């Protein structure tokens, strides 16, 4: 029997700065218990955790499965309401399929697609029925969006979407879990740059609303306002 007034729990992977840090703050302010990860010790997440006692920190690198137990080992099976695998990079020196080296392709694909999905699969048993497993994707990963450029980045996010849909259909199986690919909008972060349209606060408020309203089973690719994006 669930305890009344027990705070909801979320794990946010890649929360040292940008959207991940903003999501950790937003969910803590909404009264959730937050397990936020960083890959090396930095100031911003620790300063936030000093202010918000609902935030705990673990060390995870999505390209290094030996670190996954730092988060998985702290969560009981069936105890978590939502997971957001936010970690990502915009790419390597070369983006084009003509110039990118095998090492660059491997690094971006591992960081943006295979690593996040591997960790997401490990975290799946930790989710409650009715829980949400979200991966931070991008509109650029929509095969229907043919705006061009950033070939390596968009390919890695398209691959992530494909794998996320597979998690919903194969790994979550008959469990009552919703798998989301989230597009945060174009956001002013280190990655999005100063000319981006949205502030971190605007994007994370929208995404937190989407997560709080989720919980159907199956897969959706949606933006920060909840609007569906063609796969």
Interface ranges with ligand NDP (CB under 6 A): 14, 16-20, 39-40, 60-63, 86-89, 111, 136, 138, 184, 186-187, 189-192, 196
**Which residue's CB is nearer to ligand NDP, number 18 or number 131?**
18
Please, which residue, 9 or 63, has the CB nearer to ligand NDP?
63
Task: Report the residue number, 65 or 78, with the smaller CB distance to ligand NDP.
Answer: 65
Dihedral sign, CA of 111, 40, 93, 188? positive
CB 220 → ligand NDP: shortest distance, Å?
A: 16
Identity of the residue, 127 or 140, whose beta carbon is nearer to ligand NDP in the bound complex? 140
How many other CB atoms sit within 10 Å of the CB of residue 30?
Answer: 17
CB of 4 to ligand NDP, least distance (A): 34
Q: Which is nearer to ligand NDP, 21 or 54 (CB)?
A: 21
Least distance (Å) from ligand NDP to the CB of residue 110? 8
Q: How far is the CB of 191 from ligand NDP (least distance, A)?
A: 3
d(CA 139, CA 116): 17
Phi, psi of 190 (to 5 degrees): -55, -40
What are residue 80's DSSP bridge partners?
Answer: 127
**Closest distance between ligand NDP and the C-beta of residue 134, in Å?**
11
């Amino acid at each position: 029997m669930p305890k009344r007034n027990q705070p909801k729990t979320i794990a946010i992977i890649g929360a040292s700065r940008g959207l991940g840090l903003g999501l950790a703050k937003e969910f803590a302010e909404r009264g959730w218990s937050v397990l936020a990860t960083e890959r090396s010790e930095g100031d911003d997440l620790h300063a936030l955790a000093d202010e918000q006692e609902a935030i705990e920190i673990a060390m995870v690198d999505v390209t290094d499965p030996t670190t996954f137990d730092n988060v998985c080992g702290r969560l009981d099976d069936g105890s978590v309401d939502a997971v957001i695998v936010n970690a990502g990079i915009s790419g390597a020196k070369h983006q084009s399929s003509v110039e990118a080296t095998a090492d660059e392709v491997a690094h971006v694909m591992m960081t943006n697609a295979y690593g996040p999905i591997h960790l997401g699969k490990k975290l799946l048993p930790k989710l409650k029925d009715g829980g949400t497993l979200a991966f931070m994707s991008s509109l650029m990963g929509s095969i229907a969006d043919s705006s061009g450029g950033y070939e390596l980045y968009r390919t890695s996010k398209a691959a992530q979407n494909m794998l996320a849909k597979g998690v919903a259909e194969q790994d979550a199986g008959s469990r009552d879990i919703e798998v989301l690919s989230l597009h945060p909008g174009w956001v002013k972060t280190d990655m999005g740059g100063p000319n981006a349209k949205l502030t971190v606060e605007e994007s994370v408020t929208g995404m937190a609303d989407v997560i709080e309203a989720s919980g159907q089973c199956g897969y959706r690719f949606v933006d920060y306002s909840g609007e569906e994006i063609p796969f």
